[in-house]
Amino acid sequence: MIEYCVLALLRDGERYGFELVRTLSEVPGMVTSEGTLYPLLSRLRRAGVVETSWRESPSGPPRRYYHLTASGRAVLEAFSGEWASFRDAVDHFLEQEKNA
Amino acid sequence: MNAATLHPLARDYLKRLKKAAANLPRARRKELIEEIESHLSEALPAGASETEARNVLERLGEPAEIVAEAGAGQALAPRAGLNEWLAIPFLLIGGVIIPVLGWFIGVVLLWSSRIWTVRDKLIGTLVIPAGLATTVFLLLGVGTVSGESCSSKTVTTVGSRTVKTLSANSDCVTSGGGANYLAIALAVLLVLLPVFTSIYLGRRLTRTNTAE
């Protein structure tokens, strides 16, 4: 699930690893340990849905920036559609329970 | 990236991570360590307090947990262990130290390895059987045989006629001198071949670790 959140965070432009990790970990219940997100980013890169490039940072060491590839964008769009209908379906049953 | 500018606790953490990541494929290990190092230098200025540092490291998680995540989704390639690194010296000089049995231990270790291919194992076994023990044995053997033939000639000639002793002796010296070049070339070859085989087997072990 977090994979898709990463892709969604990259929809509007590139971000560097630390930025992605901190953004995700600030949402409660999303991430248990920040460190495990880096292997996840590496998997996304090897799957070809993101690409990386090194860029100098205004302060400190160079940063590795991640951006979506065309295939990453397609995966994100497909997931958005599926997720919407899945969420509606689950909501349907949850609401029924509440009404009963 | 300069590790010296990191917080001491961050440096210690990186050291533990590197150790825990030792079994990852080289490229993946490098990538992971780069990212975590970069994370630490962003999250933890060198002058941060110990409480701050502990908080950052706690959020990051245990090195073992991160490495497990990095190794997930791929079967770890078998890595050379003690058996492989013992097999090489046993093959090379085992037979010299413990005649026959020493080399035989090397062969068992070689063939029980999951890293070397059958081709590697055949080379390891056949070039040269018993390793340097064969070299030592042949060189000592050649030395003794030529020595004996000379002395026996001398003895027989001494027994029959004193005049022929000289000629027989000179024959012995000249034939021995001609054979020397061949013997030296053979000796060099007999020493180099098993050594090359050992180097080859060692290289095959380190090569598998770089594969991703």
Give the CB-side neighbour count of residue B165, counting CA atoms within 13 A.
Answer: 10
Query: Which has the higher per-residue pLDDT, B127 or B158?
Result: B127
Confidence of residue B183 (pLDDT cuts 50, 70, 90): confident
Task: Clarify whether residues B187 and B205 are in a common domain.
Answer: yes
- Report the C-alpha gap between B117 and B110 in whole angstroms: 10
Contact B35 A64 (CB under 8 A): yes
Contact B39 A39 (CB under 8 A): no
- Report the C-alpha gap between B127 and B103 in whole angstroms: 12
B69 touches chain A (CB under 8 A): yes
Task: Clarify whether residues B174 and B199 are in a common domain.
Answer: yes
Residue of A nearest to B46 (CA): A60
Of B146, B37, B208, the residue nearest A61 (C-alpha): B37
pLDDT at residue B126, as a whole number: 85
For the question of an ipTM over 0.90, the answer is no
Q: Which domain holds residue A19?
A: 2-99
pLDDT at residue B77, as a whole number: 54
pLDDT at residue A74, as a whole number: 94
pLDDT at residue A70, as a whole number: 95
Total number of domains constituting chain B: 2
Of the three residues B49, B71, B93, the one that is the final residue of a domain is B71
Tens digits of per-residue pLDDT, B148-170? 444 444 444 444 444 444 444 44
Residue of A nearest to B212 (CA): A46
Confidence of residue B39 (pLDDT cuts 50, 70, 90): very high
Q: Which residues of chain A have pLDDT under 70?
A: 97-100
pLDDT at residue B158, as a whole number: 43
Residue B76 lies in a domain: no
B18 touches chain A (CB under 8 A): no
Mean pLDDT over B29-48 rounds to 90
pLDDT at residue B52, as a whole number: 93
pLDDT at residue B152, as a whole number: 44
Mean pLDDT over B127-142 rounds to 80
Contact B39 A43 (CB under 8 A): no
Instruction: Return the number of other C-beta atoms located less than 10 Å from residue B162's C-beta.
Output: 9
pLDDT at residue B148, as a whole number: 47
List C-alpha distances in Å: A37 to A23, B98, B108: 11, 53, 44
Give yes or no for a contact between B6 and B41, defined as CB atoms under 8 angstroms apart: yes
Q: Which of A25, A32, A38 is closest, CB to CB, to B35?
A: A38
Confidence of residue B116 (pLDDT cuts 50, 70, 90): confident
Where b means 16+ CB within 10 Å and e means fewer, A48-72 reads ebbebeeeeeeeeeebbbbebbeeb
Q: Which domain holds residue B55?
A: 3-71
Tens digits of per-residue pLDDT, B57-69? 999 999 999 999 8
Tens digits of per-residue pLDDT, B6-34? 889 999 999 999 999 988 888 999 999 99
Q: Which of B28, B61, B72 is closest, CB to CB, to A35?
A: B61
Residue B57 lies in a domain: yes
Task: Clarify whether residues B107 and B9 are in a common domain.
Answer: no
pLDDT at residue B189, as a whole number: 87
Task: Clarify whether residues B29 and B103 are in a common domain.
Answer: no
Q: Which of B35, B41, B59 is closest, CB to CB, to A25?
A: B59
A41 touches chain B (CB under 8 A): yes
Task: Clarify whether residues B208 and B121 are in a common domain.
Answer: yes
A14: domain CATH number is: 1.10.10.10
Select from B29, B37, B38, B62 the residue whose CB has the most chain A CBs within 10 Å, as the one to mutate to test that interface. Answer: B38
Residue B85 lies in a domain: yes
pLDDT at residue B132, as a whole number: 85
Residue B162 lies in a domain: yes
DSSP assigned state of B31: H
- Report the C-alpha gap between B146 and B94 in whole angstroms: 27
Residue of A nearest to B5 (CA): A60
Position B187 pLDDT exceeds 60: yes
Total number of domains constituting chain A: 1
Of the three residues B46, B71, B96, the one that is the final residue of a domain is B71
pTM of the model: 0.55
B46 touches chain A (CB under 8 A): no
Mean pLDDT over B172-176 rounds to 47
Take residue B189 and report the two structure tokens written for it: 């070859």
pLDDT at residue B206, as a whole number: 77
